[in-house]
Amino acid sequence: MNKIFYTIVVFVFIVSCSKPEPRKPIKRKTGSFMKESIDRNKKLNKLEENLLQVKMQNDSTHTYHTSANGFWYFYNKKVSLNTQFPVKGDEVIFSYEIRTLKDSILYSKQELGDKRYLVDKEELIAGLQDGIKLMHKDEIITFLFPSHKAFGYTGNERVYPNEPLIYTVHLKDIINKE
């Protein structure tokens, strides 16, 4: 019995003295969620852009301009005087309405009233932040915003998620705060 016991002890000792094997990391797909999200957003942006292009093609009464910030616009009332554009820190007073691509009014000018906004110093949807900086005092411009420039994937109580919108904005005044 002693022989068996010693044999087992020697065997366990030899086996336990072997070099330990390092643990290998588990291979995981990193970035797959982000890649899928990016692909999904590219498809959504392309779909929205196509919807907006169809809207513009069906409107022969206006001349649309493409902004460098990813939206389109036309002038309802253009001021030809060489006046200033709003810059960071200026206070602007404006009114606006929001419509769907099918021209259903979501928010009317009367309902929203006049708004005051400190340019680039207060929260405002991305499209309006960029669009207001393209306007002169007393101009009225209609903007076509893809959803990522409006309410995005969250929407709100009247706006569906990922819904492109039409904003008609009247810039009533620019107050230089400098």
- Count: domains in the chain: 1
Nearest to 86 by CA among 63, 46, 120: 120
Q: Is residue 8 part of a domain?
A: no
If you search the block for the tokens 């259903």, which residue do you land on? 104
Nearest to 148 by CA among 40, 34, 32: 40
pLDDT in tens, 8-35: 776 666 666 556 667 777 766 667 778 8
Residues of the chain above pLDDT 70, percent? 88
Q: Is residue 30 part of a domain?
A: no
* pTM, entire model: 0.79
Q: Who's near 72: CB < 8 A, 6+ residues apart?
A: 52, 56, 64, 65, 66, 143, 144
Give the range of the structural domain holding residue 84, as residue numbers without chain letter.
64-175
Percent helix / strand / coil, the chain, rounded to 5:
30, 25, 45
Confirm if 151 and 129 have CB atoms less than 8 A apart.
no
CATH of the domain at 135: 3.10.50.40
Q: Is residue 50 part of a domain?
A: no
The pLDDT of residue 1 is above 70: no
Confidence at 101, pLDDT banded by 50, 70, 90:
very high
Q: What is the mean pLDDT of residues 38-56?
A: 93
